[in-house]
Every structure is written in structure tokens, then in C-alpha cells.
Amino acid sequence: METNQIAASETQMNQPGNFREKIRQLNSLLVVAFGFIMPMWVAPTNILAGLILLLWLIQGDYRADFEKVRNNKLVWAVSAFVTLNFVGFLWTSDVDNGWQVAGRESLLMLIPLFMMVLRDEHVNAAIGSFMASMMLSAILSIMLYLGINTAFFVYDCPQDFAPFMSHISYTPYLVIAAYISLYTLLLDQSASWQKKTLSAIIATAMAVVIFISNGRAGQVMFFMMIGLIIFQYYNKQLLRALILAVVSIPLIIFIAYKSSDRFSDRITDVIEDVNGYSHNSKSAGATGQRIIMARNAIEIIRKHPIIGVGTGDFKSEFAEVAKRNTPGYTDAFHPHNMYLLELAQFGIIGLASILWILYSQIRLATSSSEPLPKYFGLALPVLFAVIMFSDSYLLGHFTTVLFIYFSAILYHDHA
């Protein structure tokens, strides 16, 4: 009798349906693991994404998976944006550079893949794995600030106190982690007091690291996040929310300015850079260089307003314009502004394509009855919409996968 039961159990385990189920379970857990490693390394993240794709192909339940995303507004918007980057080869002249751009933007197709793979029961674990990774990063940042050698974990700019990535990418990660903590503390009615207490500690740690690092765009993003979560907390009490935001944000800026030499120095640098700006790009600081790139990019856009210069041609077109306008600064892969990049490459069509992505996210968030996608789903596009004025955040690896990961988590239930 016992032998028959064992044989029956082995037969059940060997059935194709059970094999596919185990693959789906494993693949969903790999998405959870993706959240832990994505703030750390590029190559392992890409390898894991490739493994997730491979396992999805092996499990083979394509029709059911496509049903999950075929009516998703965000998936259509992302697909159109990625497609545009390949259609843009029809009028580009720099094909090699075009492949670099298109390859980077193709990562956005991980959004529908992760939507199909990630299971509802693993959503909290996916967020938790990201938060655990960010706590590790924050601890390493504080160690760097205190002069403690972290050896292998230090990025090539240790003076920025940013492990694993540059400060330009690091501070947006910190802001998203801070938002998740404040959401749990203020907006998640189901969270226990222990969880809320831990969230308050994490939010404080993230805020401290934000202001000891050099990421000014992320610091602006942080102030926007504070204002947004105040309005979300008070919901329909708009006057109270407005008064609190007007008082609290300048107060936080004042405290940060007085308590953080790095933050005050960066503010002073911006003011001096703007006041002392000239076309002499060799002496321009970071802000001045962004002004130079924006002016040259706008000239490219004026010449090609409808369909732009094509995928990857921004670099060569920028060099031509800069030779006349700013001969000391002629090399730029992108204009440090996502909107100007899309306008330059694809004209008004490019701008419309990226705005469609943000609009789709906002629509999905505002139509949701679940608190996480309702609140966080609104915060994600609003915060990215702000920082994309200062850099091409959907072109760089780290911030692109950050956008991908939480887009898949927040909007997958709307498929």
C-alpha cells in the first residue's frame, strides 16, 4: 500500500502541469530576488532578468500570461515607446550609437514580463527585498561617511558616499525607499505598530543618507515626495495639507542646509554656477553644463521638430551644434533631460510617447481601490516626471530598472 502511494506521488510530481507550476513559482521568487540585487550590480541584474525570461519561455503558458497584460494601458504605452526607438532607425545615421540607445530602452519590456511572472502572494516579499537591500546600502553609506573602509562595496566615487552606483542614481533609490517607509507609517492601515516603528526608523535613515550624498536631483525629488505624501495623508483636507507642506518643506530645507555641509555646499554651487554661467563650457559647473546641453538640444529640436534626428543620432547632432555654440563642450551622449532627449530623437512624437507612459500610470493609480497602487502608483510617475528634467533617468541602467520593478508591482493587478 505504501509503495503504491509513493509511486502515485512520483507520478504526480512528474506531470507536466506540476513541472510548469514549479517553474512559475520559482520564477516569481526570482523577481523577488531581482529587487534585492538591482540597487547593487548591473551584470547580475541583467543575468537574472535573462534567466527570468528563459524560465518564462520554458513554462509555456503564454496565452494565460498574455491575458494578464493585453488590456493594460501601461503595457501598451511602454510597447509603443520601445517600438518607436526601433522605428527611429529608419532616419538615423549613427546606427552603432542607435543600438546602444535602443538596447537600453528595450529593458522597459521587462515591465510586462514581470507583470506576467510575479504572483500576488509575492508582492510584499518583492517590496521587502528591495527595502532590505536599501537598508544595507544606507548602512554602507553611513560607514563611508564615518570613514570606515567598506572595501569591495565602494563605488568609484567614495566621496559621494554612494555604494554600488553613482550619486545621480543613488538618491532616487533612497527617495523611493523613504516613500515606501512613510507610506507604511502614515497610509497603510493594516501595518502593525512594530512595522510602523521600523518604517519610521528606515525613513529617517534614508533621509539622512540623502543629505550626506551629492545627488541634488534626488534631494529635489525628496522634497517633492514629502509634499506629495502630505497631500495623500490629508486626502480631501487640501487647505491643511497645503499649509503643512508650505511650512514643513522649507523647514526641512533649512535644517538640512544648517546641519549638512555637503547639502549647503551643493546649494551654494548651484547658485554660483547659475550666476556665473557663460558659454565658456570649460569653466562651467554641473548646472552650467546642463544649461549648455539644454540650449544645444533645443537648437536640434527646432531643426527637427516632428520626427527628430532618429535613434542614437543625438550625440553626432549635438557635436555639430556645439562646435558653433560651445566649442569647449561638444561631447554628450544625452542632454541630461529625458524630455529633451526624446524631443531631439523623435520630435513631438517622442515627447508624446514618454508622457503616455506617465499618464497611463497616473490613470491606473487613480482608478485603483487598493491603497498601495493608489498612493505609491501615483507617487512613482510624479516623482520620475520631476527628476527627468535633470537627467535621462529612463536611459541609465539603475534608475530604469527601479522604474521597471515598481511599475510591474504597482500596476499588474489592472491588467
Name the strand (E) or helix (H) holding 360. helix 338-366
In the chain, where the domains are located:
15-59, 72-117+276-415
Could you tell me what percent of the chain has a pLDDT over 70?
Answer: 88
59-69: average pLDDT: 87
13-37: average pLDDT: 85
Dist. CA 191–CA 235, nearest whole Å:
19
pLDDT one-digit tens code per residue, 124-166: 999 999 999 999 999 988 888 887 766 555 565 556 788 888 8
pLDDT one-digit tens code per residue, 78-103: 999 999 999 999 999 889 999 999 99
Dist. CA 356–CA 363, nearest whole Å:
10
pLDDT one-digit tens code per residue, 216-238: 788 889 999 999 999 999 988 98
pLDDT one-digit tens code per residue, 355-376: 999 999 999 999 998 999 999 9
- pLDDT tier at 293 (50, 70, 90 boundaries)? confident
- Note the pLDDT of residue 154: 55
- Note the pLDDT of residue 158: 59
The three cell numbers of residue 203 are: 525613513
Residue 287 clears pLDDT 90, i.e. is over it: no
- Note the pLDDT of residue 131: 97
Distances (CA, A) of 284 to 136, 275, 328, 394: 35, 11, 10, 25
b (16+ CB within 10 A) / e for 165-174:
bbbbbbbbbb
What residues contact residue 333 under an 8 Å CB cut-off, 6+ apart? 97, 314, 315
The three cell numbers of residue 139 are: 548602512
Residue 275 clears pLDDT 70, i.e. is over it: no
Q: What DSSP string describes 145-202?
A: HTT---GGG--S-GGGT-SSS-HHHHHHHHHHHHHHHHHHHHT-TT--HHHHHHHHHH
* CB of 206 closer than 8 Å to CB of 134: yes
pLDDT one-digit tens code per residue, 171-203: 999 999 999 999 999 999 998 999 999 999 999
Across all residues in the chain, what is the average pLDDT? 87
Residue 40, number of CB atoms within 10 A of its CB? 16
- Note the pLDDT of residue 10: 45
What residues contact residue 360 under an 8 Å CB cut-off, 6+ apart? 73, 74, 76, 77
Residue 12 clears pLDDT 50, i.e. is over it: no
